[in-house]
Amino acid sequence: MSSEGLADFLRRRREGLRPGDPQAGATRPPSPRARRTPGLRREEVAALAQVSVSYYERLEQARAPRPSPQVLSALATALQLTEAERDHLARLAGQVLPAENDGASERVPEEVQELLGRLDGIPAYMVNDRQDIVAWNAAAAALITDFSRLTPDERNLTRLSARFRDTLCTGAPGSETDFSRQAAAQLRAASVRRPRDSVLAGLINEFATHDPDFANSWRHHDVRPVPSLRKILRHPTLGELELDRHTLSLPGSDFSLMMYTAQAGSPSAAALKVL
């Protein structure tokens, strides 16, 4: 159980709610006092979750014993958590055991390698928990870079995005912030699954130091996935391409599949066929 992480997550989610927000299956208790802090008060969350105020206060102070699954479920409902946030809460509370191995997976199943090859004309690659690019198809290499020429450390999605931000890749409005938020969410979830992964911890520190959007998302425990992200790529021969990057998690594995597509009939779609 990560008492400090659980305490920080609960506090930030509580502060992110507003008194007027509808609560799932419950009504906010009346509180005539002037509101001096953002979000709901601790006693309001405790009432919604039907736990004692003192116990909830100890949870936010990292002094309480491990909460039961029933209490976690009640807190998740009171705080209006998404499914991804509920899973994150359970892992922070020690209800889901961390991965047995300390490192991210590198070996891609053979059937996944075959899938990448079958995505003819669709640039696609596979990333692990650390966002290392561990497999790719020819279209992805033609669109982005020849991954085989990069070192394993360089073949990291967040590092590559920072490297190409001013050359090959720019973002549609808001997309750079969305990308940083997605990277922080994925690495935050991975850090709870693999708390002893020193390489992952180093990556997180590196990205938080150099990317303010990543650091902000990390501080707020943002674990909501961003399944689709629009990017504008400046390709050296094909020119400017407006593409959607889709992220699909592979059930039962540590890998995610990322694919680039373009709107049907658009110049970008025609350019992808050239790849």
The tens digit of pLDDT for each residue in 108-167 reads 778 878 888 888 789 999 998 888 999 999 999 999 888 999 998 889 887 887 666 544
The C-alpha atoms of residue 197 and residue 87 are separated, in whole angstroms, by: 20
Q: Cβ distance 136 to 256 under 8 Å?
A: no
Rg of the chain (C-alpha set): 21
pLDDT attached to residue 149: 92
pLDDT attached to residue 52: 92
Residue type, 10: L
Show the tokens assigned to 76: 């998740």
In the numeric block, the tokens 């050359």 are attached to 167
pLDDT attached to residue 103: 53
Fold matches, 3-92 and 110-274: no
Q: Cβ distance 258 to 193 under 8 Å?
A: no
Asked if CATH classification 1.10.260.40 holds for the domain at 3-92, the reply, yes or no, is yes
Of the options 3.30.70.380, 1.10.3720.10, 3.30.450.180, 3.40.50.300, the CATH number for the domain spanning 110-274 = 3.30.450.180
Q: Cβ distance 197 to 95 under 8 Å?
A: no
Angle at 31 between CA 25 and CA 36, to 5 degrees: 115
The C-alpha atoms of residue 176 and residue 174 are separated, in whole angstroms, by: 6
Low-confidence ranges of the chain (pLDDT < 50): 24-30, 32, 100, 166-168, 170-174
**Strand duo 169-171 + 133-136: pairing:** unpaired
The full set of domain ranges for the chain reads 3-92, 110-274
